[in-house]
Amino acid sequence: MSAITYKCPNCGGELKFDPGKQQYHCEYCISDFDQETLDQLQPERGTEEKAEDQEGAVVYSCPSCGAQIITDETTAASFCYYCHNPVVLSGRLEGEYLPDAILPFSITREQALEAFEKFVKSRRFVPRSFYNKNQIDKITGVYFPFWRCDCHLNGNLEAEGKTVRIWRVGDIEYTETKTYGISRAGELDFPELTRNALQKANRMLVETVQPFDLSGAKPFSMGYLSGFQAEKRDMEKDSFSESLQEDCRRYTREMLLDTVQGYASVNPRNTEIRVDKSDWSYLLLPVWVLTYRGKDNRLYYYAMNGQNGKTAGDLPTDQPKAAAFSAVLGVIVLILCLIGGYLI
């Protein structure tokens, strides 16, 4: 297992994926390269003998400067703290952990920062330390691991329906109840069902900014990770395969029942729903992330969907500022009440 980085074929500078151009950009000679060109490059690798496990942490050597890069067991892409060059930890995404697809970032870092500033300004009493320059510079593009499933179901429903007719003749009221046998059958497709494949606490960062349009997914290439961080899955599809299929079966049953109309009551007698096919694939989804540890030791966050720009966050509150505002507001209300009483 080793750390790798992609070099510009023109000047040897580091290549990063540019979401705005959807190409690989060299910040030194301002060159851009497409996916086909990148596929022909041989990435530089750090020395593998320096990689070692240390109580859950893993140490790699940077291919650019030789500095040690320390990550946890699920990180698949990161940055060298010393030379700041992007590195991809290739062994984390090989074999069974190799993603089938990736949804590249469409939102640039500049767009993410602009949206963050608007988001913060729309909230009151956010402490300055949450959005000062040092904090804003920590905003990071992260690829999160997801399982995707396309399901095809076949369902049959047998039910009993009743109609009730009531009429009056003089003072006598008549009621007529008829019972009918109902049969429904149909097929349903559930495409692009997704499940978060990360158990770590930061999984909630991506949960809050769904959904993603998976039609924009590309065949996976290591190059897309350059300039971003990435997480490797630590949950297998077996962890939620049965619950996902059960959700599909329940929804199929509801859809079949919804086709039954015109009865006073419907009593299902027999339902048979089969999952004929379920195709699974492993993919990475993009999120811009900024976290902040408050004075109360609570972790606050801001997250943005890296494809469509949807934002969410749990922001801290500057309690002294909020208390001062409440006190001033209380004084103003008291003065208005006194003036109103005097005029009356």
Shortest CA distance to 316 belongs to which of 344, 291, 340?
A: 291
Q: Quick one: tokens of 93? A: 């995404």
Shortest CA distance to 12 belongs to which of 25, 26, 24?
A: 26
Shortest CA distance to 141 belongs to which of 228, 250, 262?
A: 228
Q: Which residues of 191-208 are buried (b: 16+ CB within 10 A; e: fewer)?
A: eebbbbbbeeebbebbeb
How many of the other CB atoms lie within 10 Å of CB of 274?
Answer: 13
d(CA 258, CA 242): 24
Residue type for position 18: D
Q: Cβ distance 220 to 69 under 8 Å?
A: no
d(CA 33, CA 28): 13
- pLDDT 10s digit of each residue in the chain, 344 long? 456 677 888 888 878 888 988 988 888 888 898 888 888 876 665 544 334 444 445 666 666 666 556 566 677 766 664 565 676 766 667 778 888 999 999 999 999 988 888 877 766 656 665 566 666 777 888 888 999 999 999 999 999 999 999 999 989 999 999 999 999 999 999 999 999 998 866 677 788 888 999 999 999 988 888 888 888 888 999 998 999 999 999 999 999 999 999 999 999 999 999 999 999 999 999 999 887 776 677 777 888 999 999 988 776 555 455 444 445 545 555 556 656 555 55
Q: Is 68 exposed, middle or buried (0-12, 13-18, 19+ CB in 10 A)?
A: middle
d(CA 57, CA 113): 30
Q: Cβ distance 144 to 284 under 8 Å?
A: yes
Percentage above 90 pLDDT, the chain: 36
Q: Quick one: tokens of 30? A: 């301002």
Give the start-to-end residue ranges of the domains of the chain.
145-319
Question: In the prediction, which pLDDT does 57 show?
Answer: 54
Question: In the prediction, which pLDDT does 233 show?
Answer: 86
Q: Which residue has the tokens 């692009």?
A: 192
Which runs of E-coded beta strand occur in 139-171?
140-169
d(CA 42, CA 33): 14
The alpha carbon of 284 is separated from its chain's Cα centroid by a whole number of angstroms, namely 9
